[in-house]
Structures are given as C-alpha cells and as structure tokens.
A and B are shown apart, each in its own frame.
Chain A
Amino acid sequence: MFDLDPGEELALLVETTRSFAAERLTPSLREAEAARCVSPATRAAFEQIGLRGLELPEALGGVGLGPVARVLVNEELGAADPGAALALDGPGPVAGALSALGGEEAVTQALASLPEDGRALLVDLADAKLQVEGGHLQGVVPWVPAERADVVLVLGEEAAWLTTGGYRLEPLRGAGLRAAGSAELVFEKAPVVARFEGRAAVEQARASARLYVGSLLLGVLRGACDFSREYALQRQAFGRPIAHHQALAFLITDMRMAVDGARLLLHDAAWRIEAGLSAAGETAGAFAQTIEAAATIGPAGVQILGGHGFMQDYPVEKAMREARALSSWLGGLDAAREDAGRALLAHAGPVPLSAGER
C-alpha cells in the first residue's frame, strides 16, 4: 500500500550521496565547469562509495540497483552538479536502457570494457538527423554532454543500435552541463555492433533514460529552490527579508510545490518500472512535468537573487542553464508529451491515474 519510505538501505544510499555531493561537488562546481571535467580525486571518491553504474551487475563492479535507487541518487547529484554527475557516471543512462533492451547480457557485452573514466552516450533519434543504412549509422547529433564516447546507444521508434566507433566528437562551448563536456557527435558510417528490436523494449529503454535525466533535472530544480530560498531569508529589502514580501513568499511556495509534484511523479514511474508494470506513459508524463517545472523554476531562482542571480558568483544562473540543457535531451518536452499522449489514447475507458491501477 502507498508508502513513500524508501527503506533503510536506500535512505543510507541517499545520505551517502548527499554527503559526497556536499563535500566533493558543490565546493568545486565552477572549477569543474571551467575544466570541462571532474578531478581525479572526485572520481576516485565516487568510485569508492560505489555510485558509478548503480544499475550494473556485480560482475561489472555495479550493485544491480533499480530505477528507484537511480532517481533518488540522481536527485542528490543533480542538486549539486549535474554535469559532474554525468562525467562521473560513465555508463550513465545507457546502463538502464541496455538492461531494458537486452537484459544483463546486453549490458555486459556493451559495458564490460568501459574504462573507469570512459563514457557511454545515449542518443535519441528525436535529437538527431541520423540514418541507419546497411548496418551503419550516418549523420549528426547537434549536442551531447560529453567530449568522449566509448559506446553510443541510439534509440529509435522500434529499434535501437549500439556502436563503438566510426564517429567523432567536435567540442562545443555548451550551454550547460559543461563539467560533462559538450560536443557535436558526427557519425561517419559508424558500424552497428548490436541491434535491438521491438517497440515495447525500446519504450522501456526510453522510459529508463527519461527517469535518469528527469531525476538529475529534479535535483537541479531542488538545488535552485533551496539556494534561492536561503538567499531570500538573508537578503533584506524595504526593511525585512525579501522572503517576507508576499509576492516572493508565494513564488518560493509555488516553486517548492512544483518540485514536490514532479518528484512524486518520477518516483511513481520508477516504482512502476521496478514493479514490472507498464510505465512508458507515466515516465514520459513525469519527464514532461519536470521539464515544465524547470521552465519556471530555473528563471525564478535567478529572479529571486535579482542582479546577483545574473552573476556567476552564485549558482542559480548555472542551475538555469543546466536545467535547460537537461530539458533538451531525449527529445525534450515535445517528444515526452507525444509519448505520454499516445499512451493515454491507447487506453480505453476511464483515465488511469493511480500507480496502483493496472
């Protein structure tokens, strides 16, 4: 029955991740952004506490956790530095997506030889102009949050393709997530090394990827809310903290409501996947809702700080850019709404609202 308690084990994982983020990511977020990578010490700490590749089977050094653990961890990482989170978690959303497409075997084949600082990239056809012909990928992905790619998984409508070479990354300045790097990905007759078929499997893979990105985004939004709220309690104007002017108090309230609502949708969707229920529509809806929340919370965080918010002395401008970058991934809002709408119309009868309703 309805229970939001993640349990002792996951609560400990969240606490550990939060401490790591506070000690390692937050203090150096501008350095990581400028360097376009994370420091070796941070990477070592991340590995040591077992946060890399949570979904990977134990044979590959992972802990085999599911989507619920992923969304909880990503919120904590995203609240500190989502770019660094992507740089640190080499398998990234590819691990969960591959698991949906081909189970442990597919994950092992694709990621067993991924170096410690290697990156697996996930590309949605909605983001790219790609052709798949004669067992090769050809075309351009305008942006990926990476400057190296050891493995690339491309998600289509009814099939997915894996490639490990025959492409190059042209570095870009990047709008956000610079700690992960930023590049244009150009496929030049990249040979497909594995092909996965079936609409249902691809939908599940996409759902897993949306949870990954959506929960990082949720973290960014929570971070922006927390920081701007703290600031509004310190900053005085017209003789009182600006948080005590009702216009701002209500804005802060609405921001918090939007974050809490998006979080519940993401958790609901993650639970559905873990429970083996259909989740494509719910996950797409949760992703869409988080992106819509980001569209207001990102700029609102800057707004609360006024002129200071516009300056890079504070992290809210970074949060606004990162939120936008994450919102652009995996086809962004339009693709998510397309999938959620399709799932809704595929259902006959009353609209199913509850996770518990099959």
Chain B
Amino acid sequence: MDFGIDAATRVLLERAREIGEREVRPAGLEADRMGAPLPPDHSYFKRCIERGEGRTRWRGPVGRERPAGPRRTTVQTLLVAEEYAYWDRGIGVANPGVGLPEGNVLAIGTEEQKEHFLTPFLELDRPRWACFGMTEPGAGSDAAAIRTHARKDGDGWVLNGGKCFIGNASRADWILVQATLDPTKGRAAQRAFFVEQGTPGLGGFKIEKKMGLKAYESTSFSLEDCRVPASHLLGGEQRDTSRAGFSTAMRTFNAGRPVIAANAVGIGRAALDEALRFARDEDRLGDPRVRDRLEAMTRKLRMARLLCLRAGWLADREQPNIVEASMSKAMAASLGQEATTLGMELLGSRAARGDHLIEKLYRDVKAMDIVEGTGQVQRVIIARQLVQLPR
C-alpha cells in the first residue's frame, strides 16, 4: 500500500503548476471577463502548440511510426487533470488537439482513417481541433435516445439531425458525429461518422452562452442532408466485431468519469485555497465556525481525490472500475460544488460583486455534476452493480 506521489509524477505536476499559473489561469480569466471563448487565433493557443501540446497519441502510419513516448498512467493523468483544473478547467477543454474522439478513433478506426484524420495532429502546424458530437437537445445522459439519423445512400451516408453543447465544434477540423441507423434500436443501431468542416449540410453553428466555463465553446449545429463518403464511417463497414469488443471493455472500465471527478477536485481545491486565503487576510480564522467548515472541506476534498485515484489505479491494473469511476464522479462533483459554495459564503456580500475568482469557480464547477453523466445517473450506474437495479 502506498499513498505517495513519485518523483516522475511530481515533475509532471510541477510543470502543470507552472504552466497553470503563468498561462492557464490568465487565459481562463480573460475568457470569463469577455463572456466568450478565446478566438482560435489567440496567442494562447499558439503558445500551446509551441510547447508541443495537442499532439495525438497515435504514433503514425504503420511502418513509419514515431518512437513511443513515455505513457502516462491513469493515476498520473488524473493528478495532472486535477492540477490543470485548479488553474482553469475551461481552458483545458479549449486547448488544441483531437480531444474526446481520440480514444474512439484509436480503438475502432481503420488505419486509413487514422492516417487521414490524425496525421495533422502528429505535429500541429497551427492550432487545430477535433471534437465528438454526441449530445442532442433530447438526449443527454440517455445517449441511446439520440435522433440524428444516418441513411446509406449509394456509396456514402446521408446525415440529418442536430447536436448541442459540443465542445470546440465550430473550430474543429472534423467532428465525429454519433448517429443512429434506426432510432427504435437504441445503442446497437448507433454509428459514428467523421464529418469534415465545410462539408455541405453541416452548418448552423451557434456558440451557446453559458453560466461558466466560458473559455471553451459549447456549440450547437445542424446536419441537413449532409453527405459523407462510406470511408467516413468509423471503423468501416466491417467494424461490428471490433466494436463489440470495445463496448465490452467500456462496460467494465471507465477512464472518463474519474477525469471529470479530478477536475471537480481541482476546482474545489482552488476555491478552498482562495477561501482560506480570504479568511486569513480578513482575520477570521479565529472563528471556530469558519475553521470547522474549512477543516471539513479539506478532508472531504481529500476523500474525493482518493476516490478518483482509486478508480484510476484500477484502470491502470485493467480491473473493472465501473462502480469506483461513478463513485468518484458522484462524490467529487458535489464536493467541488460544496467547496465553491463555502468560499462564496465566506466572502459574504463581496461574493455578489461578481469579480472574485471564487465566484467564477462557483459557476464553473456546476458543470462537473452534469457532463459525463449527472450525479443521479452515476447513482443509477452504481445501483445497477450493487443491487442489480433494473434498466
């Protein structure tokens, strides 16, 4: 048993801390003050790719692979995700790169698809993005309910429907769009399609106005008789067997929810540090009510972090972590909210001015209990495992 953090991970965290303080927080605050995402040509993104950020994990075409770099463990990924979120969670999503669809493409994509869609992300010549289009106005956590439809038409596919809350969609080179071949058949009838920016029928981009996390765009768009070639079906026509394997893996192992949980811990920790600083500056630490609340929040965030790391540790050992991943998400998201609320309460009427970092964190963190499945959905997932709650 070991709860320590090794030297290599400390180096990663120190680097994240340094970039976070110098780059990430100022960029996040700038976007929040503007009330809009940083534009794609913002110098922040140029500096990101100068630092080598945004590169794909794909190693290149078969036979011409670049050397494998050091691979981060899930535990390391979670700790770094927490540290970046400490400085600003929104900017983390806005950073250039393939982002969410990378795992799907690496797991299911054909070699041709990887070469075509990931090659530009091997070495970024400019800030580039990709994104994953799943959510629809009528289908959030219930992903089986999506209505965007795909119809085979000759040697291609025709997509119709619309997506919402899609991160980085208007600036993405391509969007991996989840669509159904038959809405009555749930997840089994769903497929994913690469839709490149500029494809006729892809349009109506609308960047939503959000309560928080303003640094990245959450965008709705429409697909109207949007035609893509057959080669843009993720995994190709023959991919059903490989997808079955992927789905099975996803049912027992989850790395996404603990990342959101780690983000929530990071935001909560930022709020706690600010609250402690404020209470110290205002000479309020002598008040036992204030101290007790800070104490409780500290241990609860510590607990949330440990729950995240446990889920990541299981993932690293390739052990089932469905319950643990959902627990980390359910617990951390609500505790992150609690930490920012505590900060707001300590600030008193100053919180209502709207110009304190804690006020921003209070708005930002709410999304952590919504994305990747709400706290209620996490409890449903856990209950299915613990008491076989029927679907």
Contacts of B312 in A (CB 8 A): 2
| Of A2, A229, A265, A337, the contact of B309 (CB 8 Å cutoff) | A2
Shortest C-beta distance, B115 to chain A (Å), equals: 35
B291 engages A341 (CB within 8 Å): yes
Do A1 and B330 form a contact, CB below 8 Å, given A243-B387, A261-B306?
no
Do A268 and B306 form a contact, CB below 8 Å, given A1-B6, A6-B1, A260-B327?
yes
Q: Is the CB of B331 closer than 8 A to any CB of chain A?
A: yes
Shortest C-beta distance, B213 to chain A (Å), equals: 22
A353 engages B302 (CB within 8 Å): yes
Q: Is the CB of B122 closer than 8 A to any CB of chain A?
A: no
| Of A4, A345, A354, the contact of B313 (CB 8 Å cutoff) | A4
| Of B1, B2, B295, B379, the contact of A249 (CB 8 Å cutoff) | B379
A-B contact pairs, 18 of them (CB 8 A): A2-B75, A5-B1, A6-B1, A243-B383, A246-B383, A249-B383, A249-B386, A253-B383, A254-B379, A256-B327, A260-B327, A265-B303, A341-B295, A344-B295, A351-B269, A351-B276, A351-B298, A356-B4
Whose C-beta in chain A lies nearest to the C-beta of B383?
A249
Q: Is the CB of A126 closer than 8 A to any CB of chain B?
A: no
| Of B276, B285, B303, B386, the contact of A261 (CB 8 Å cutoff) | B303
Shortest C-beta distance, B323 to chain A (Å), equals: 8
The chain B residues found within 8 Å of chain A, CB to CB, are: 1-6, 9-10, 73, 75, 265, 269, 272-273, 276, 285, 288, 291-292, 294-296, 298-307, 309-310, 312-313, 324, 327, 330-331, 379-380, 382-383, 386-390
| Of B285, B292, B386, the contact of A337 (CB 8 Å cutoff) | B292
| Of A232, A257, A350, the contact of B330 (CB 8 Å cutoff) | A257
Q: Which of B288, B298, B327 gathers the greatest number of chain A CB atoms within 10 Å?
A: B298
List the 9 shortest-distance A-B pairs measured between CB atoms, nearest first. A356-B5, A355-B3, A285-B299, A243-B387, A264-B306, A249-B383, A341-B295, A261-B303, A1-B6
A250 engages B5 (CB within 8 Å): no
Contacts of A252 in B (CB 8 A): 383, 386-387
Contacts of A353 in B (CB 8 A): 265, 269, 298, 301-302, 305
Contacts of A232 in B (CB 8 A): 387
Do A264 and B1 form a contact, CB below 8 Å, given A256-B382, A337-B292, A344-B294?
no
Whose C-beta in chain A lies nearest to the C-beta of B376?
A250
B302 engages A285 (CB within 8 Å): yes
Contacts of A356 in B (CB 8 A): 3-5, 10
A340 engages B302 (CB within 8 Å): no
Whose C-beta in chain A lies nearest to the C-beta of B6?
A1
Shortest C-beta distance, A234 to chain B (Å), equals: 11
Q: How many A-B residue pairs have CB under 8 A?
A: 152
Interface residues of A in 228-261 (CB under 8 A from B): 229, 232-233, 241, 243-244, 246, 249-250, 252-254, 256-257, 260-261
Contacts of A268 in B (CB 8 A): 3, 302, 306
B379 engages A250 (CB within 8 Å): yes
Do A4 and B305 form a contact, CB below 8 Å, given A244-B387, A289-B300?
no
Whose C-beta in chain B lies nearest to the C-beta of A288?
B299
Contacts of A178 in B (CB 8 A): none
Contacts of A229 in B (CB 8 A): 386-387
A257 engages B298 (CB within 8 Å): no
Interface residues of A in 299-358 (CB under 8 A from B): 337, 340-341, 344-345, 350-351, 353-357
The chain A residues found within 8 Å of chain B, CB to CB, are: 1-7, 10, 68, 229, 232-233, 241, 243-244, 246, 249-250, 252-254, 256-257, 260-262, 264-265, 267-268, 271-272, 275, 282, 285-286, 288-289, 337, 340-341, 344-345, 350-351, 353-357
Contacts of B313 in A (CB 8 A): 2-4
Contacts of A250 in B (CB 8 A): 379, 383
Do A257 and B1 form a contact, CB below 8 Å, given A265-B306, A344-B298?
no
A275 engages B387 (CB within 8 Å): no
Whose C-beta in chain A lies nearest to the C-beta of B331?
A257
| Of B2, B272, B276, B295, the contact of A271 (CB 8 Å cutoff) | B2
B302 engages A344 (CB within 8 Å): no
Give the complex CA separation of A351 and B271 in angstroms.
10
A3 engages B386 (CB within 8 Å): no
B4 engages A1 (CB within 8 Å): yes
Q: Which of A5, A232, A257 gathers the greatest number of chain B CB atoms within 10 Å?
A: A257
Give the complex CA separation of A252 and B387 in angstroms.
8
Contacts of B307 in A (CB 8 A): 257, 260-261, 264
| Of B5, B73, B272, B288, the contact of A357 (CB 8 Å cutoff) | B5
Contacts of A344 in B (CB 8 A): 276, 291, 294-295, 298
| Of A1, A254, A289, A345, the contact of B2 (CB 8 Å cutoff) | A1
Give the complex CA separation of A354 and B75 in angstroms.
13
Contacts of B4 in A (CB 8 A): 1-2, 271, 275, 355-356
| Of A244, A345, A354, the contact of B5 (CB 8 Å cutoff) | A354
B299 engages A340 (CB within 8 Å): yes
Give the complex CA separation of A33 and B21 in angstroms.
58
Shortest C-beta distance, A80 to chain B (Å), equals: 21
Shortest C-beta distance, A26 to chain B (Å), equals: 22
Give the complex CA separation of A7 and B5 in angstroms.
18
Give the complex CA separation of A355 and B5 in angstroms.
8
Give the complex CA separation of A289 and B298 in angstroms.
11
